[in-house]
Amino acid sequence: MSDDNTSTAEKSSDDGPSEAKRLKTDSFPWEEGYTDITLIVEDKPIHTNKGFLMAASPIFKTMFLSAYKEKKAKKIPLPGKTYSDVVQFLQYLSQDVYTPFTGKIQLHLRSSLSIKIEMGNIHL
């Protein structure tokens, strides 16, 4: 990955615009006005929705439905996570942008956020 969070495949002259969009991990496509929560990862905002996160993670569900301080928070820091990993994971969940999902990200996020992922008949 280069400094601007794009893969080397994206830089290739053989790849068209759709390939560049597929592999871009420097932002998540939801804008602030359409969301109800902002995740802060590596000091960068990622705008998303509580319902979206609760559907993917029992940790987020508990966090937003219980008496935790995050229930009313507008911004939630996620220390120890990388921005590109979280963006790629949210893109995978939203299916807005097809993104190859690597085992590293899958296992890293699953273990820290208790996210259940079903891929075909495989339950992780």
Question: What pLDDT shows up at residue 29?
Answer: 65
60: pLDDT strictly greater than 60: yes
The tokens describing 23, both together, are 């592999």
Does 8 map to a domain?
no
Question: What pLDDT shows up at residue 67?
Answer: 85
47 forms beta bridges with 38
Q: CATH code at 94?
A: 3.30.710.10
Distance of CA 94 to the CA centre of its chain: 9
pTM of the model: 0.57
Name which of 2-16, 18-32, 33-47, 91-105 the model is least confident about.
2-16
Tokens 């790629």 locate to: 88
The total number of structural domains that make up the chain: 1
64: pLDDT strictly greater than 50: yes
Question: What pLDDT shows up at residue 40?
Answer: 94
Does 19 map to a domain?
no
Is residue 37 within 8 A of residue 28, CB to CB? The reply is no
6: pLDDT strictly greater than 50: no
What length does the chain have?
Answer: 124
Cα distance between residue 8 and residue 78, in whole Å: 27
Does 17 map to a domain?
no
**Mean pLDDT across the stretch 7-22?**
40
Task: Say if strands 37-41 and 122-123 run parallel, antiparallel, or are unpaired.
Answer: unpaired
Does 65 map to a domain?
yes
Q: Is 119 helix (H, G, I), strand (E, B) or coil?
A: strand
CA distances from 39 to 20, 72, 124 (A): 25, 13, 24
Does 84 map to a domain?
yes
Does 71 map to a domain?
yes
What is the extent of the structural domain holding 41? 31-114
Does 78 map to a domain?
yes
Does 89 map to a domain?
yes
Question: What pLDDT shows up at residue 124?
Answer: 35
51: pLDDT strictly greater than 70: yes
Q: Tens digit of pLDDT for each residue in 75-122?
A: 999 999 888 888 888 877 776 544 455 555 555 565 566 555 544 433
